[in-house]
Structure 1
Amino acid sequence: MASNNPRKNAEGYNDPTPYEAEKRIRAQLQGKRARAAGGHFEAMISASCDYYLSRDIAKIEKTPEPMKPLGAKNRQGHFMACYTKQAQPDYGGTMKGGRSIYFEAKHTDDNRIEQRRLTAEQADDLEAHHKLGAITFVLVSFGLRAFYRVPWPVWRDMAETYGRKYIKQEELKTYEVPAVAGYIKLLENLPPETITIGRIGEDELNRIRQVLDDSPGILLPGEGAAP
């Protein structure tokens, strides 16, 4: 039986106004588009990881979503679960030569990307890996058309560098990486990294020099600088 209240529907719930209904539908469509774009972005990264693994350049894997079981398994072996808060970066692995690599992947259809897209836990984890010497960055997709490898220190110090907690796409040109044939060259032209060394013996220093010869792109303090 229909409700006598014009603001109520047949079930007795409030009917949304035309504006509210349109806003709700628009939000649902935007959510579907965002999920589809995120899935495509993830597929491109997976293709990139497969590409680098097939060429013995790096082994990078997506971090599994942590789940918490909400009950026991049924007879078919199924169980209810929910996703818990993720602290680890989206992707992690090892470069040829032993260097660790960790990064977050974020997609936007806007012309800017906000720092708050990373949770505090994700930021803390990237910072911890960065301090230990890992290659760390945020891989940003703008409309699935342009991709940028933003070094973690640049993302972390966004407010100090840009005076605000977001970066515009045109400000990221330095960090753009190409995308071809369905994959992103996210390891293209990685910048030199620095390792800090205390007092070590001559044998150990020679061993490190040999590692540097085999893995160019690592700079020792005091070496490679002008005299």
Structure 2
Amino acid sequence: MGYSVSDRNRANNNRGQMFEHLVDQGCHVYRQKKVAIIEKTPEPFRVKGKNKDGTFVGWFAGHAQPDYKGTLKGGRAIAFEAKMTVKDRIQRDAVTVHQAGCLDYHFDMGAKVGVCCMIKNTVGFVPWTVWRDMKEIYGRKYMLEKELREFQVATPGYIDFLRLSEGDGYGSK
């Protein structure tokens, strides 16, 4: 017996929530170790009204910012997107044009910038220069799981996305 579309969607949603939880755990570990303070950026959202059952009606009030922003020990800023897929590749366009513009700006200002992503079971932190220039590097606008392995990071109960060293293509400084 196969899975229904709603079963697959629910499973993918659960995987996405687990992925985000592991990124959040990484942020928590770095804060505890006094290595960085990195916070999830809330979506720009307006509430129109609240229902008696506690639900509400609302709308997105603007373009999304990068998923996470913060400061590394020593004062350098960090900004990154978090993206995951159960497919065999992740599309460059998973980062919207607006998000890419924000990440470009952070990169130009010297921040550590990248995309924390998961393809199937591989988790990596891809430098912004690689994500942005994917077409020139790979000849296409997507990355395969085997290519993500070059940027693979440990997942010891959290995603250890800060493990790569400076001078790694994450920022202009």
TM-score greater than 0.5 by the shorter chain: yes
Residue 27 of structure 1, CA deviation? 2.6
| TM-score of the aligned structures, taking structure 1 as reference length | 0.68
**Does the CA contact (< 8 Å) of 2:107 and 2:172 recur in 1?**
no
Q: 1:108 matched to which residue of 2?
A: 85
Q: 2:150 matched to which residue of 1?
A: 174
For residues 30-179 of structure 1, the aligned pairs below 5 Å read 30-71=8-49, 79-143=56-120, 145-179=121-155
**Does the CA contact (< 8 Å) of 2:30 and 2:37 recur in 1?**
yes
Residue 88 of structure 1, CA deviation? 0.7
**Does the CA contact (< 8 Å) of 2:126 and 2:151 recur in 1?**
yes
Name which one, 1 or 2, has greater alpha-carbon Rg: 1
**Does the CA contact (< 8 Å) of 1:87 and 1:125 recur in 2?**
no
Task: Point out where structure 1 has 5 or more consecutive residues left out of the alignment.
Answer: 1-24, 196-227
How much identity, in percent, do the aligned residues show? 39
* Amino acid aligned to 1:189: L
* Amino acid aligned to 1:125: C
Residue 81 of structure 1, CA deviation? 1.3
CA distance in 2, matches of 1:121, 1:27: 30
Q: Structure 1 residues 78 and 167, CA, compared in 2 at 3 Å: closer, same or farther?
A: closer
CA distance in 1, matches of 2:165, 2:29: 17
CA distance in 2, matches of 1:108, 1:79: 29
Q: 2:6 matched to which residue of 1?
A: 28
Structure 1 runs of 4+ aligned residues shifted over 6 Å read 74-78
Question: What's the secondary structure of 2:4's corresponding residue?
Answer: helix
Q: 1:186 matched to which residue of 2?
A: 161
- The structure, 1 or 2, with the larger RCO (C-alpha pairs under 8 Å, 6+ apart) is 2
RMSD, matched Cα: 2.2
CA distance in 2, matches of 1:128, 1:93: 15
* Amino acid aligned to 1:185: D
* Amino acid aligned to 1:164: R
Deviating more after overlay: 183-192 vs 151-160? 183-192
Question: What's the secondary structure of 1:97's corresponding residue?
Answer: coil
CA distance in 1, matches of 2:43, 2:99: 13
Question: What's the secondary structure of 1:190's corresponding residue?
Answer: coil
CA distance in 2, matches of 1:108, 1:120: 19
For residues 215-226 of structure 1, the aligned pairs below 5 Å read none
Residue 77 of structure 1, CA deviation? 9.1
